[in-house]
Structure 1
Amino acid sequence: MVNVQTEMVINRPRTEVAEYAANPDNASQWYTNIHRAQRLTDGPIGIGSRVAFTAEFLGRELNYTYEFVEYVPGERLVMRTSQGPFPMQTTYTWTDDGGGTRMTLGNSGSPSGFSRLAGLFMAPMIRRETRKDLRKLKSVLEGQSA
């Protein structure tokens, strides 16, 4: 089992951080390894929304689809994928922190088969990548005019 959580304080209002981060149209702007996100369901983002992502991890291109399984705007988003050798769940939470927002980005999953051994090495890599992602999100949002 891999379970990695990283967090960062972003000096912007919680509603702004949450709206930007939860919108899959913005994913390639702040996720270092995501090159493309395509909505597979119409309408506003909510429970049951599906998004196809194309990312690079360990030098390989990965295509996967996340389904939004929990969404409380401005507070919490949980997305889950069940396909592939490494099913993942990604959780965003947003809380007020002074005048800014503390965003927590969590990734958990249970690798199967051969990937189980790879899981031992994946947690530090996932932690490093999610730290980069949150730093990039902070830079994007704090660089916007107040």
Structure 2
Amino acid sequence: MFSVTEVVTIARPRSDVFAYLTDAGRRPEWDDTVISEALTSPPPVGVGSTIHSRMRVMGREVDFDWRVTEYVPPGRMAIVSTKGTFPTSLLFELTDDGAATRVSATIDGEPSGMLRLVEPMIEDTIRSTLATGLGRVRQILESR
């Protein structure tokens, strides 16, 4: 099992950052691994909502389904995979940092079978992708 946390500070109000990060349709804008993502349950988003993602993982396209397990605007959202390559969870925690917003994103994963052999590579890739993606969120939101 691995746990990856990346942090970024974005010069935008917390409500704006939360709305952007938790909008499934926006994720392909900032996360290079996401081909498409959409809410698959009726809006609005809340605990129990479901999301479907088509992603590029280790050179191939895979589908992930997610369930929202925590949703506390504008400070916290957690999702867990219900279908995918291996069990995965994602947690966004947002706090005020003066007039800016501090975003902490944590991805936990538990590869099994043959994927355990390449777990360090998976962890490094996720860390790099998450850091790059959060940097892109900062660029997008601060340019608005």
Structure 1 residue 121 displacement after superposition: 1.8
Aligned residue for 2:104, secondary structure, equals: strand
* Alignment correspondent of 2:83: 83
Post-superposition Cα deviations, 1:71-111, rounded to whole Å, max 9, x if no partner, equal: 11111100001334411000001001121001111100111
- Which residue does the alignment assign to 1:17? 17
Report the residue type matching 1:2 in the other structure.
F
- Aligned-pair CA distance for 1:29: 1.3
The DSSP-based 3-state class of the residue aligned with 1:74 is coil
Q: How does 1:1-146 map to 2 (within 5 A)?
A: 1-144=1-144
Return the TM-score normalized by structure 1.
0.94
- Corresponding residue SS for 2:52: strand
SS of residue paired to 1:94: strand
CA contact (8 A) 2:67 2:82 kept: no
Q: Indicate the SS of the match to 1:137.
A: helix
Structure 1, residues 23-81: CA drift from partner, whole Å, max 9, x if none? 11211111122111122101200001101001112221121111101111111100001
CA distance in 2, matches of 1:62, 1:11: 34
Partner amino acid, structure 2, of 1:116: R
Give RMSD over aligned pairs.
1.1
Report the 3-state secondary structure (helix = DSSP H, G, I; strand = E; otherwise coil) of the residue aligned with 1:81. strand
Give 1:128 shift: 0.4
Moved more, 116-125 or 89-98: 116-125
Greater shift after overlay, 129-138 or 30-39?
30-39
Aligned length: 144
- TM-score of the two chains, using structure 2 as the length reference: 0.95
SS in structure 2 opposite 1:111?
coil
User: Could you list the runs of 5+ residues in structure 2 that have no partner in the other structure?
Assistant: none
Structure 1: gaps spanning 5 or more residues: none
**Alignment CA distance shift 1:120-1:8 (3 Å):** same
Distance in 1 (CA, whole Å) between partners of 2:55 and 2:84 is: 14
In the alignment, the residues of structure 2 paired with residue 43 and residue 34 of structure 1 have an alpha-carbon distance, to the nearest angstrom, of 21
Instruction: Flag as ranges the 4+ runs of structure 1 deviating above 3 A.
Output: none
In 2, the alpha carbon distance for the partners of 1:84 and 1:99 equals 38
Asked whether the equivalents of residues 2 and 122 of structure 1 are also in contact (C-alpha less than 8 Å), the reply is no
Identity of aligned residues (%): 28
